[in-house]
Each structure stands twice: as C-alpha cells, then as structure tokens.
Structure 1
Amino acid sequence: MKEIESLNTPESERYVYVRELAAMGALVRRIGAAERVALDTEADSLHNYFEKVCLVQLSLGGEHYLVDPLSGLDLTGFLEALAEKPLILHGGDYDLRMMRASMAFRPRREVFDTMIAAQLLGIEQIGLAALIERFFDITIGKEGQKSDWSLRPLSEKQLCYAVNDTRFLKPLAERMRGELSERGRIDWHRESCRAMVESTGRDNARDPEEAWRIKGAGRLTRRQLAYLREIWRWRDTHARSANLPAFKVFGNQQILDLLQWAESHPGAPLHQGPKLPRNIVGSRLSTLEEAIARAAGMAQAQWPELRTFDRGDAPRTDCKEQIDALRGECARIAKELEIAPSTLAPRAALEAIAWSRPRSLEEIMESGGLLRWQAELVQGAVEKILMR
C-alpha cells in the first residue's frame, strides 16, 4: 500500500535519462540486481515510413530510466541484461515486435502483460491510463501519444509522459495478478502471454502481391481492384521516398473514393474528381495520373483476382446454422465468465472450427488457432453442436 500511495508524488516522477556510457553502465548493473523490470517503448511510426524504436522506458526498484537508442550508445550489454529479467508490459505485442526489428531483442523470461490481464478480468476499458485510474484513482495525461519521438532534443513534457508508461506497471501487475489468481485465471494469463511473446518472434513480412488489399477491398470488382493496386503502389513509392507513413501521403478512404470515381470517369482530369490533399502536386500528381492511366488501360486478364473471403461469401448452408449456434453458445459462456466473447474465441476461430469439424481438444486448438484454456472452455459447445 505504501508503494501505491507514493505513486503520484513528485519523487515518483524523477528519472535518469540514459544517453552516456557511464549512465548505461550503472543501469545495466541495476537491471542485474532487479527482480523484474517494467518496460515500454516509444517509436516513430506516426511520422516515418521506416519506423524504429526511439526511446526505451524502464522502471525497476522504484527508479525510472529512459534509454535513448538514437544516442549512439552500444546497447548490447543493456539488451542482454534485460532479456534475462521477467518483464512487465502493457500491450507488449507492439513493443516486442519493434524491439526485435530495431534491436534484435527477445525476452527469455516470463512476460506479464497488463492489457491481456485486463481482458481476462473482463475489464472493458483496457488502455493503460484507464487502468491506472481504475485501480489507483490517478489520472495521467496523454499529451505525448502523437509526439515525433525521433526528433531531438526531447522536451521535458515528452520525457515525463514517457516515464508514466512504466512507473505504474509493477503495482498494477501485482493488483491484477492477485485478481487473476482469485478468479482462477492466472494460468490463462500465463499461456496467453507466452503465446503473445512467441508470436512476436515470427516475421510478419507483407506479401508484396497482397499488401495493397486494404480494408474495403473486399467490396470491389476486379476492375476496381486494378485501380486500387496501381494507386496503392503509387502511394507506397512516394511514402518510401519521403520516409512518411502512408496515411500522410494519401489515406485509404481517399484511395477508395478516387478509384471509384476514376473507374466511372475514364480519361477525365483529376481536378474534376474527389478533392486531393494539398501535397499531391508536381511529380506526385503526374505519377498518380500515370497510375490511373495504367489501371484504365489494363487488359481484363491482368486484373487482380477476387479472393473468396474478399467477396464476403456466406458459409455453406449446412454450416451457417452451426456457426450461428456455436457463436451463441460461446457468447453465453463468455457472459457467465464476464469476459468479451472475442476474448474467449474470435469469430473467425469459431467459423474455422465449424468448417473443419474437429474431433478432439487438440484439433479444436489447431483448427481455430485457440489456446488450450480457450479450447477447453469451448470444447463442450463444439461437441454439443458439431458432433450431434
């Protein structure tokens, strides 16, 4: 309780900004002596095409550290020491993926994710700020969420914001661990965290032949998909060359609006179509016109193929009723457990299970991509509905 009462004091906001060799050496020694480490990162994905980790925040033993990976420091010893400690993160999927991509970092010990814990406890508001307010009645600011963390120097406001991302994690994890244990869900959490960590160690490289299929592509015809592919490739080329996130060049909805207009107005000048962002001038504009012209002149044989799930194909008649029944039964189970149905079993998982008709717990896990605790909870419903 004493630690919780001291969370919102001026002393609790103090931090060490690690940009020099001596400070890094001291931090590595502190990590070595720590029982566990609260960890978070800040990246520049909202401001750069080639995203990277720009700041690493750590809290351990009541002390807070901000490590600047852009300072030129050798991080080898730091990352090695960190990998050997149990970690606490919130929504660690993104942080661990970014640290793997930017620093080749992989944790070797247990990871406790407070966002996953919140989902398993049936908490609706699972953001870190909401959880801190819920458990400790402390309100933290969100001013730094959209900062460009790649710029230097970082402001005092940015650094204080960054500290807040880890200074509450240890007491928060302790409270949530207690509630998970009381409700018999600590094993669910361990399995879920292990699966999350494992997933972040796999490459999710985009297939260049499929990356252009943005949300909404499933409603398009083959001819419209040809426009989508050409405009998307145009955007990606300019985003790369300017090192800007794609949405800052041309948004997905803007692509969809433009392609539908262009298809129905072949040869019309672009200024007659949907209003373009102010940054679409000069070579960006001329190359966009060329992309649209390529799509317009493309032979039907060159149009992209539809994907069955793009068209929203309905399940087979003999399967749809069972899918609906399975979803209803799982929703009932989730309600009894006071968790979201998607936490128990996502809709896509239930559809895959209904189609494959698994006959064992292992087959339920494999066909639906479910964890063991999830499969055990839905097994009765699967047997009741699919094996009758």
Structure 2
Amino acid sequence: MYIANQNELESFTKRAKESSVLAIDTEFLREKTYYARLCLLQIATDSETVIVDPFAIDDLSVLAPLLEDESIVKLFHAGGQDLEILYREIGILPKPIFDTQIAAALLGHTQQIGYAALVYAECGVQLKKVDSFTDWSRRPLSQSQLEYAADDVVYLPRIYASMHAALEEKGRLHWLDQDFEALSDPKRFETDERERYRRLKRVSQLSRKQLSAAREVAAWRELEAQRRDLPRKWIVTDEQIVEACKREARTIDELFMVRGIGDKIGTKDARTIVSLIAKGLDAPKETWPETDRNSRNERNVDAELDLMCALVRLRAKENGVAFPTLASHDDLAKVARGYTEGIDLLRGWRRALVGAELLELLAGNLTLSLDKGVLKVTETSQ
C-alpha cells in the first residue's frame, strides 16, 4: 500500500498497533546535503506492508507512539542510518530493536552480511537489484521501484521469527540485549564538533601542535556544514585541512598554497580558517590533543595477539560466531596491553564465550597446544 496523505498514515498507525512487529527501512539521499534527506519510509507489520511518501505527509510524528510501544519489536537490517533519520525526522528512537545483521553474526552468517544475501539464506528468495541505485527523490515512482522498496521490509518479519527461534534454541536470545539497547541511545547520534578532527583522513601525519589547529578548523567546518546543510567536503576536504595545518598556514597566501582550497572558499572563509589555525597553534601546550599513536609507544604484543587470536578463532568456530563479532582487533590489542575498562570483549556474552578465558591466558593460567592438528586449551597446574 502506497501512503501519500496524512489520513492514510494515521489509519495505518491505528491498524499497526495490533502487530507484534514493525519492520522498518528508509530510502534517502545524502550526496548533496549534510543531513540525509528522507525519500521513502517502508514499514511491514504482521499483516501488511506500506510505503510512506514523506514528501506528501504533513506530520510523520504520528508514528512516534508506534515506535515507542515496547510491546512491538522494531526490526531493522543494518539499521544505523535508518535510526539516525528517524531520530531527526520524528524526534525519538524506537524501542525495542532487533537488528537482523547483528543477530546473523551469532547464527553462523558472515560478519555484516547484506540484506539480499540474508534473504536468500533465510528465505530462499533472490531479490532483484535493478533499482538499487535509483533516485528516490524523483516522482512519480515506478511499480518496479515500489516493489524494490517493499522488498526491503517484507521479509524481515519472517527472518526475525526464524532467528528468534534459533537464538532461543541455542540459549542466545538475550546475548544481544545490550547491543540492541545501545542502538536506541540518542548519544549515538549526538555530534561533538570538537572531536571531529580525530576522524580526518591522514590526521596521523600531524604533530600535537598541528592537531590543535586541526581541531579548530574541523570544528568550524562541521558547524558550517550543518548550517549550510552541505557535505563536509564541499566546505573543505579532510586532506585540505590536514595539509593546511601541516603547513601551519597563518596567512591567506600560505593557505592558498594548499591544492584546490582556493577554488572552494572565498576570502572571508580563508580569513576564518587561518585565524583558527593560528589559534590552535598558539594554544598552551597542555591543551594540545593527545595523538592516537599511543600504541606505538607501548610494548609490542604481537606474541600475545597470536595466541589470543588462536583462542578466539577456536571459540568462534565452536559457537558458530563470526570472529570479528566476537572480538575486534582493537579490543584484543587493548586487552593484551592490560586494559580492561570499556571493552566489549570483556562484557556480557563475549566475556562468557572467550573474554574471561583470554584474561586467564594472559595471566599464564592457560596453555595452548596442538594435539593431532587440533588446538587444545589446558589449565596450567598451580
């Protein structure tokens, strides 16, 4: 059903209250804006599938009570961007959530499995790809486009039912509770412009003093991109920020020596950028950001990581869990160096499967050996 007016949407919300699930997906464009532009909202319940045209709807907030109804499970596949858009458009985040991509990793599927691959694996259906790169902002939409959009949610209730049963059978139904609850945390979508510099491409090339300048420029660019609703790189690119700060450009002439930057900004913005670079460079040394190169200054843990990876690989295979889902390389490196706080590997189901064992391994309380080509884990004698 194609919903293109407010009355139809309100009627649907009344019917959907009786559903046990709400499968949700969005189609959006972001190439020319900072904020994603919602172009379609697809929703499937126990009994129907609707496609909501946000261009024709006066108020999407009528969906809020449904999204907040904790008796209805909201289904997503790799729902991070969908949740961000719902939060911006409606002002709330759904609860409770079940993300089939996250759950798939606990059921033997590959890490970050795509929706089409999961539909084929769980439902035996080969989805059409003809409209995967369509311009969803154009109207009218063709029947083929509508069918493609509907397919993104129509199989989610069936996949959820299958996964729910499989997780329950394996005793893993609540393993992902914390992961799913985290998806509904508004903090995930709150941006701190003062921290944006850490994500600049090639930022590792900068000294602490230059990082101080990059922090100022990246924060300004973030706020400008939001204000103008333009992609960050349309203001200035990551590479241009890093190069300008590496040069420690204090004048417009020095700034314009950075390739391409003179084509992007005018004199006013140039003055702002060089003043921000100077501000960062002249800031007291104690306020300069720390670099993310700390690991280079810490002891080498390659041997520990080799042993840890062998143990994680064994437990991942035994439990049918994708290795990266069980333990990321960053988490393994932190644990090897003695860190224990704020590490997913040492919390919840991951700790139960292998995290606690890894601590025992590092403490010398476990040994790894081969027995006819099979890895054995043995407690050391005290």
| Same fold, judged at TM 0.5 (above) | yes
- In structure 2, the partner of 1:295 is 277
CA contact (8 A) 1:266 1:296 kept: no
Distance in 1 (alpha carbons) for counterparts of 2:262 and 2:151 = 36
> Which amino acid in the other structure matches residue 198 of structure 1?
A
**SS of equivalent to 1:38:** strand
Deviation, 1:245, is 2.0
Are 1:73 and 2:73 counterparts?
A: no
2:127 aligns with one of 139, 147, 150:
139
Structure 1 residues 122-271: aligned runs within 5 Å? 122-124=108-110, 126-135=113-122, 136-141=124-129, 143-144=131-132, 147=135, 151=137, 153=139, 155-156=141-142, 158-180=145-167, 184=170, 186-187=172-173, 190-204=174-188, 205-215=190-200, 216-260=202-246, 262-263=247-248, 268=253
Residues 312 and 142 (structure 1 numbering): CA distance in 2 closer, same or farther, change over 3 Å?
farther
**SS of equivalent to 1:126:** coil
Are 1:22 and 2:7 counterparts?
A: yes
Are 1:48 and 2:33 counterparts?
A: yes
Are 1:375 and 2:351 counterparts?
A: yes
Distance in 1 (alpha carbons) for counterparts of 2:234 and 2:116 = 27
Distance in 2 (alpha carbons) for counterparts of 1:79 and 1:231 = 37
Structure 1 residues 81-96: aligned runs within 5 Å? 81-84=66-69, 85-96=72-83
In structure 1, list runs of 5 or more residues that go unmatched: 1-15, 359-363
Deviation, 1:382, is 1.9
Deviation, 1:377, is 0.9
CA contact (8 A) 2:68 2:93 kept: yes
**SS of equivalent to 1:191:** coil
- In structure 2, the partner of 1:12 is none
Distance in 2 (alpha carbons) for counterparts of 1:368 and 1:275 = 42
CA contact (8 A) 1:97 1:201 kept: no
> Which amino acid in the other structure matches residue 305 of structure 1?
W
> Which amino acid in the other structure matches residue 211 of structure 2?
L
Are 1:334 and 2:287 counterparts?
A: no
Residues 313 and 354 (structure 1 numbering): CA distance in 2 closer, same or farther, change over 3 Å?
closer
- Deviation readout 1:242-292 (Å, 9 max, x if unpaired): 3112133333234334544x44998755665423485x15x3x55236513
State the TM-score, normalizing by the size of structure 2. Answer: 0.76
Stretch deviating more after TM superposition (367-376 or 152-161)? 152-161
Residues 44 and 298 (structure 1 numbering): CA distance in 2 closer, same or farther, change over 3 Å?
same
Distance in 1 (alpha carbons) for counterparts of 2:279 and 2:157 = 60
CA contact (8 A) 1:228 1:256 kept: yes
Stretch deviating more after TM superposition (329-338 or 341-350)? 329-338
Deviation, 1:141, is 1.9
Percent of paired sites with the same residue: 24
CA contact (8 A) 1:177 1:186 kept: no
Distance in 2 (alpha carbons) for counterparts of 1:298 and 1:266 = 14
> Which amino acid in the other structure matches residue 270 of structure 2?
L
Q: What value does the CA root-mean-square deviation take over the aligned residues?
A: 3.6
- Deviation readout 1:289-320 (Å, 9 max, x if unpaired): 65136525865445762425x12433743977
Distance in 1 (alpha carbons) for counterparts of 2:270 and 2:134 = 29
Deviation, 1:174, is 3.5
> Which amino acid in the other structure matches residue 114 of structure 1?
T
- Deviation readout 1:123-166 (Å, 9 max, x if unpaired): 2361112223444241332745574x5x4646336544422211
> Which amino acid in the other structure matches residue 362 of structure 2?
I
- Deviation readout 1:6-63 (Å, 9 max, x if unpaired): xxxxxxxxxx222323312331232123232211123444432244655321112453
Structure 1 residues 296-311: aligned runs within 5 Å? 299-302=281-284, 305-308=288-291, 310-311=292-293
Are 1:64 and 2:49 counterparts?
A: yes
Distance in 2 (alpha carbons) for counterparts of 1:47 and 1:299 = 32
> Which amino acid in the other structure matches residue 235 of structure 1?
R
> Which amino acid in the other structure matches residue 126 of structure 1?
I
Distance in 2 (alpha carbons) for counterparts of 1:299 and 1:250 = 19
